[in-house]
Structures are given as C-alpha cells and as structure tokens.
Amino acid sequence: MSNKAKRACDRLLGKGYILIVSEKPKAGAAISKALSSEVTECRESGVPYWIIELRGKRYVVASTAGHLFSLFTRKRGFPVFEYEWVPRWEAERGASHLKKFYRVLSKLAKGASQYINACDYDIEGSVIGYMIINMLGNGSKSYRMKYSSLAPEELRSAFSSLSDMGWEMIEAGICRHELDWIWGINVSRLLSWVTRLAGEKRILSSGRVQSPTLTEAVDRYIDYMTFISTPKFSLKVELRADEDKISATHEESPFDNREVAKRKKENILKGKKGIITSAERSLSSIRPPPAFNLSELQYEASRIFGFSPSYTQRLAEELYLDALISYPRTNSEKLPSTIHHEKILSELSSMENYRSIAISILKTGKLSPVQGTKEDPAHPAIYPTGKRPSGLKRDSYKLYDLIARRYMAAFMDEAKIERVEFHIRAGGENLIAQAKSILKRGWTLSYPFSIGREKRINVKEGSELKVSSARISSVLPGKPKMHTKVSLLKWMETENIGTEATRAQIIDTLFKRGYLIYGKDGVKPTKLGMAVTMFLKEKLPDITKTELTRQFEERLFRIRKGEEKREDVVWEARRFITEELERAVNMEAELRDFMKMYLRPEVKCEFCEMPALEGGLCLIHHRALIGLADAIEKWEAAFNEDRDKVLAKIAKSTSVGKAIRDVAKGVIEKRIIL
C-alpha cells in the first residue's frame, strides 16, 4: 500500500467511525462490499480493513482471524481454577500471526464511537466479537449483526436490523470455554502427574472430546481383537449360458450347518444343469446426494482418493483462500437460492471438463438443487465459486473436481437402476442370481463415484444353464471393522462431539500424544493409549463418556435461554472437579500402581505385553477366552466336528480376532484351559 493511500486511510479514521468486527478477512470484505459500492480498502502489516460511508456515517469494517483471546494460567499444579483471558499471540506458541491482527484491531477499537459484532452468528462468533470489543474497545455502545450467509442482500438486511449484543449467547460461549478448560487442564495435569509417579515423564492430555474418541478407538480395537461368532456356510454356484458366466447363491444360503450345505452342493453338482424359472424385475431411482459439508467431503476424499481428514481439510482451506470454493468448515448440506447458481454454472460451463454437464443443467431452466438435512447456523454447503482454477497441485485439483462435480450433481436428475433377480432350479435346488443395469445415468454422469458396477446377465426365463462349479465357504457374520481416521471422524459426528473445524485436528492430537498409531488394518491403541484409557475408565469414569457433552450442552442451552447463570454452572463444575481430583490424590499409591502396571507390567499376559489381570491373561485375552468358551459348542455343531478339530480351525481362521486365535492355540498347546 502506498504512503499516500495510507495517509488517506488515517485521515478518514481521524474523523470518527463505527467499528464493525468480522470473524475473518473474507467476511469483512463481503460485508463492506455488500453495504457500499465505494469502499476504501486499507491495509496495515498485511491486515486489511475497509472504510465506507452510509447515510452520512462512517464505518470501518475490520477483521480478526478467529479467536484472538484465550484462557490462560500462570499457575502450575492442580487443581487449578485461576485463569484469565489473554491475547493468544502472547500465550501460545504458533499464534504469532495473530499479533498483527491484535495491533490493528487495538488501534481501530480505541477510536470507535460504536461497535457492531458481525462475527459468525453462533456461540463462538459471539465470544470472538465480544472479547475484541470488550478487551480492546473504549466502552462505547455495541450491537450485534446476525446473518447466516455472506449473500449481499442478507448482509444488507442484517445490517439494517441490528440487535443487542446477545449477552446470553456470549455467556454460554464463555462458559463453554471455561468448562472445557477446567476439565481439560486439570485432568491432563492429573494424568501427567500419575504417569510421572509411575516413573515416566511425559505430557499427557485428556478432554471432553478427545477422551471419548480415544475410548471409542480402544473399544473398537478390543472388539476387533476378540471377535468370534457362530459360523454360517454360504453356497455359491458358478453356471454358464453360452458365453455368459453367472454367479448364483443358494436361496437358503448362508446355512447354519455345513452338512446341510454339503448335501445341497452335491445335489447341484449331480444335476449338472440348471434352468431359469423366473426373472423378477425391479426399478429404483436414486436421488442425487446433496452438496458437501466438511465431514462428507472428508469421508468421500478418503474413500475415493485415500486422503486423511486433516489433509482434505488443509487442501479445502487452501481452495477457499484462493476463492475457488466457498467456506469449507460448514456442517450444512443446503444450497440456498441466494447463491447465484446460474452464474456459477455458466462459469463452470466455460471449463472443458464440466462444459457438457453444466450446459445440460442450465438448459433445463430450473435450478433447484437437492437439499440435505444437515444445517449450519453460519454457512451454506460447500460449492465452487465459478473462479477458474489454475496452477493447482494434483491433489488440490482432485479435491476441487470432487466438489465441483458434487455441486453440479445436486441439480441433476435421479439415476435409474434396474435390478433383476433370476431364479434358477438346479439339481432340485433353488438358486438366485442378481443382475443390475443402469437405465439412466442422471446425476452420476457428474459424480460417478457412488453408483457401483453394472452386472449384466443375458438370459431369460426358460434359458438352460450348465453348472460349472459349486463352493461352500464358512462366514462369520458381524465382524467389526477397525477404525480409520475418517471412521473415527464420522463417529464423532454421529455422537455430535467436536466441530467441523476441530474433529480432524483432535484425531491428529491423539496420534501426536502417542495414544494411537496406524496398524495395517486401521487405527490401534499404543501401550500408552491403552494405559490412559483404562485409567480414565476405571479411575475417572465420568470423563470418558459423551454423556458429559450432553450435560454440557443442556446447561449451555439453559444459559442461552437466560434460565441459568454462567457463574453457577462454572462453580458446580469446579466443585465437582475438586472432589474428583481430591479423591484421586487420596489414592495416590493406588493410581500410581495402576498406571505402572499398564506401562511396565510386572506380570505379563500369557500372550502379549499387557499386564496379566486374571488367570495369567490381560483384559483382551481374558475376554477372548470367554468368547471362545461361549462359541466353541456352536462351532462344533455347525461343522459337526469334535473339539480338537474345531480348535485347530479357529486357531488358523483369519475371520476371528487375533486374540481368539491366540487363546485357541494356547488351549491346543495346553498353556491354558478352556
């Protein structure tokens, strides 16, 4: 910025103004542009602000970059409840970029005659704006501007109907910060302390969101390791009709008993031939999926490209800052009509890859995209802005393409699929073969990632078939999948803990702390992760439950409605945590020994490195032994074989959990008894 322009900005500021505080530079730019056609853009140390005149009054639209202040304590040890709001750049490593925002906002806030909090209209936005006005301002009157998208007409109407600051929402927001801080800092310190007593010096952490997530990963791992169920037997038959190969399944498959399956198989092989007795056709329509919210984008990018959730988030944030896509940290699956779809689509139509699709949408004349059910108080679903991407790295372009295609798909027709179920009679047995064909591609022309393959079978009623082969395989229904980063993220979403902006980050924290690692089947806990989880479960059971978040939300909601006071809620949390921690400290030796047992067990499990708890087994192998004892008779009946043979089968089966195989081997080798 030239010195001349800078002087012009300073001169305008000298004449007095009302300060509008926005949450991010993009929002500030949008607000100033919506309110006036003559905007003076100013910049100090790289931080932009905008000056406009409206009906004889001067306004300065300024911006922060999220939270400028956070809770901080100087005190060591626990319990600790002495905290204060401080500028983040002073207190946090890695927050130095906020110093320039702090300086510009300090200067602008001092000279303002009034304030308008125009941060996102949600609980955090209320705190962000309030803190800036309260900590940096001069005490002048303040107002709230409420909008749920950056559409100019909405911003204009929000500006013309300002409300009071919304103190209840601010109080609820501050309370959220305090409760998370009190729980998180105190329990983290307790954990670190106990671990130090147990002879290991490390910084550990626990929190309302991360701890239930860790527990979920551990629980799933244990389920996976100890999985066994009653086997069933599928009977698959390969047939031929001239050129065509047809895969069919016995209509009673899977069978409970292998002998029964064997008899049927022999009947079919003996019969040698089959005949199509009937063909049932069914049509189904598949509606286009709605435009992405962040977690669906993370899910699909993981499924289709193998991107981790935090990688996807980083790429999406870069695309957003390049103005190629809209705000990505949204929960919304809705595309409101205030977005200029026609303009975006015609811009997309100038891009080679999207031309024919975008043109065909525009030709229909009705631009009413599918709407999803999920909502967001401050942002719509993710959509391309229409700006042409150039010079993007490969992965960034892949993600952009996914977003653009998903956006266009929302405007397109349903896809139509025909399924045919062929009934086959062979050797006196009834078989079924499934065919699937796509009658109309519809939206899948734009978003071809979720329709599946066609499976055509060119036969009709009365066609004769030859039996080529038949195969029995045992299956174990209900095998759990180990978590991946993205399935953990989905779990957090369904449990409604964390936010779009933080979930991927929090999962990465669990890895950074050394609680979780990636094994070949997915996410698994380390020894430390297991120790922390068991400690929390056994010694502080209330903290690992998502129930805590539910109670949190209820109390915060009551504060928002003015039915409860922040001080009372914080005081209660403080009393509760004091009691819990005092109780813990009184059992110092017990806690230390518990942690020691998990970190450096004196007596190890017969089969692994974990501590032996009962009968020489760790909790996982103990549970596996019980599972095996439960299942063994059903296996004997299903295979119609004696115990030794069945145990040998289980010890080799890759369908049961590893801990089940371990204990089966142990029983065979007479290291343990069943």
Partner DNA sequence: GCAAGGTC
Q: Which residues are catalytic?
A: 327
Q: For residue 119, which of 241, 231, 23 has the smallest C-alpha distance?
A: 23
Nearer to DNA, 121 or 607 (CB): 121
**Per CB under 7 A, does 26 bind DNA?**
yes
3-state helix, strand, coil in the chain (%, to 5): 45, 20, 35
Q: For residue 511, which of 529, 498, 495 has the smallest C-alpha distance?
A: 529
**Per CB under 7 A, does 23 bind DNA?**
yes
In whole angstroms, give the CA distance from residue 606 to residue 667. 12
Nearer to Zn ion, 424 or 618 (CB): 618
**Per CB under 7 A, does 500 bind DNA?**
yes
How far apart, in Å, are the Cα atoms of 520 and each of 142, 491, 517, 650? Answer: 55, 20, 10, 22
In whole angstroms, give the CA distance from residue 424 to residue 128. 67
**Per CB under 7 A, does 482 bind DNA?**
no
In whole angstroms, give the CA distance from residue 236 to residue 503. 43
Restricted to residues 170-199, the positions that interact with DNA (CB under 7 A) are: 176-177, 180-181, 183-185, 188-189, 192
First to last CA, the chain: 80
What's the closest the beta carbon of residue 606 comes to DNA, in angstroms?
35
Contacted by 362, from Zn ion, DNA, none: CB < 5 to 8 Å by type: none
**Per CB under 7 A, does 505 bind DNA?**
yes
**Per CB under 7 A, does 71 bind DNA?**
yes
Amino acid at position 257, single letter: N
With a CB cutoff of 8 Å and minimum separation 6, the contacts of 624 are 225, 226, 228, 657, 659, 660, 662, 663
In whole angstroms, give the CA distance from residue 300 to residue 246. 32
What's the closest the beta carbon of residue 335 comes to DNA, in angstroms?
19
- Write the binding mask 49 to 68 for DNA: x where contact by CB under 7 A, - elsewhere: ----------------xxxx
| Residue 364 Ramachandran class (φ > 0 left, ψ -120 to 50 alpha, else beta) | alpha
Q: For residue 407, which of 439, 383, 436 has the smallest C-alpha distance?
A: 383
Figure out which of the listed residues 358, 470, 497, 667 binds DNA, where binding follows CB under 7 A: 497
Nearer to DNA, 286 or 501 (CB): 501
CB atoms within 10 A of CB 496: 11
**Per CB under 7 A, does 24 bind DNA?**
yes
Figure out which of the listed residues 25, 231, 274, 288 binds DNA, where binding follows CB under 7 A: 25
Nearer to DNA, 415 or 506 (CB): 506
Q: For residue 29, which of 142, 113, 152, 159 has the smallest C-alpha distance?
A: 152
- Write the binding mask 380 to 409 for Zn ion: x where contact by CB under 5 A, - elsewhere: ------------------------------
Restricted to residues 83-102, the positions that interact with DNA (CB under 7 A) are: 88, 93, 95, 97-98
How far apart, in Å, are the Cα atoms of 435 and each of 252, 278, 279? Answer: 19, 13, 10
**Vertex 366: Cα angle to 361 and 371 (nearest 5):** 90
Q: Which residue's structure tokens are 């499934």? A: 434
What's the closest the beta carbon of residue 206 comes to Zn ion, in angstroms?
25
The number of angstroms, rounded, from the C-alpha of 459 to the middle of its chain's C-alpha atoms is 45
- Write the binding mask 600 to 639 for Zn ion: x where contact by CB under 5 A, - elsewhere: -----x-xx-x-------x--x------------------
CA contacts within 13 A on the Cβ side of 476: 19
What's the closest the beta carbon of residue 638 comes to Zn ion, in angstroms?
27
Nearer to Zn ion, 221 or 233 (CB): 221
**Per CB under 7 A, does 485 bind DNA?**
no
Q: For residue 252, which of 230, 239, 269, 237 has the smallest C-alpha distance?
A: 237
**Per CB under 7 A, does 501 bind DNA?**
yes
**Per CB under 7 A, does 105 bind DNA?**
no
Question: What residues are paired with 524 via a beta bridge?
Answer: 517
What's the closest the beta carbon of residue 235 comes to DNA, in angstroms?
49
What's the closest the beta carbon of residue 12 comes to DNA, in angstroms?
24
**Vertex 378: Cα angle to 544 and 23 (nearest 5):** 90
What's the closest the beta carbon of residue 532 comes to DNA, in angstroms?
11
Structure tokens at 273: 């031939």
Buried b (16+ CB within 10 A) or exposed e, 579-609: ebbeebeeeeeebbebbbbbbebeeebbbbe
Peptide bond into 611 cis (omega under 30): no
Contacted by 621, from Zn ion, DNA, none: CB < 5 to 8 Å by type: Zn ion
Q: For residue 387, which of 376, 367, 403, 371 has the smallest C-alpha distance?
A: 403
Contacted by 6, from Zn ion, DNA, none: CB < 5 to 8 Å by type: none
What's the closest the beta carbon of residue 223 comes to Zn ion, in angstroms?
15
Nearer to DNA, 413 or 580 (CB): 580
DSSP assignment, residue 455? B
Nearer to DNA, 77 or 306 (CB): 77
**Per CB under 5 A, does 181 bind Zn ion?**
no
**Could you tell me if 410 and 291 are in contact, meaning their C-beta atoms sit under 8 angstroms apart?**
yes
**Per CB under 5 A, does 341 bind Zn ion?**
no
In whole angstroms, give the CA distance from residue 253 to residue 236. 8
Packed helices 210-225 and 619-639: angle between N→C axes, nearest 10 degrees = 40
What's the closest the beta carbon of residue 65 comes to DNA, in angstroms?
3
Nearer to DNA, 23 or 564 (CB): 23
**Per CB under 7 A, does 201 bind DNA?**
no
Contacted by 434, from DNA, Zn ion, none: CB < 5 to 8 Å by type: none
Contacted by 197, from Zn ion, DNA, none: CB < 5 to 8 Å by type: none
Nearer to Zn ion, 54 or 517 (CB): 517
How far apart, in Å, are the Cα atoms of 395 and each of 295, 354, 386, 648? Answer: 18, 18, 19, 47
Contacted by 205, from DNA, Zn ion, none: CB < 5 to 8 Å by type: DNA
Figure out which of the listed residues 87, 122, 412, 420 binds DNA, where binding follows CB under 7 A: 122
Figure out which of the listed residues 70, 295, 332, 396 binds DNA, where binding follows CB under 7 A: 70
Number of residues binding to DNA, judged by CB under 7 A = 53
Figure out which of the listed residues 142, 210, 253, 446 binds DNA, where binding follows CB under 7 A: 210
The stretch near DNA (CB under 7 A) out of 108-116, 426-434, 496-504, 523-531 is 496-504
Contacted by 338, from Zn ion, DNA, none: CB < 5 to 8 Å by type: none
- Phi first, then psi: give them for residue 586, nearest 5 degrees: -70, -20
Amino acid at position 434, single letter: Q
Restricted to residues 126-155, the positions that interact with DNA (CB under 7 A) are: 128
Residues making contact with Zn ion (CB under 5 A): 605, 607-608, 610, 618, 621
Residues in touch with DNA (CB under 7 A): 23-26, 65-68, 70-73, 76-77, 88, 93, 95, 97-98, 120, 122, 124, 128, 176-177, 180-181, 183-185, 188-189, 192, 203, 205-211, 317, 321, 329, 497-502, 505-506, 509
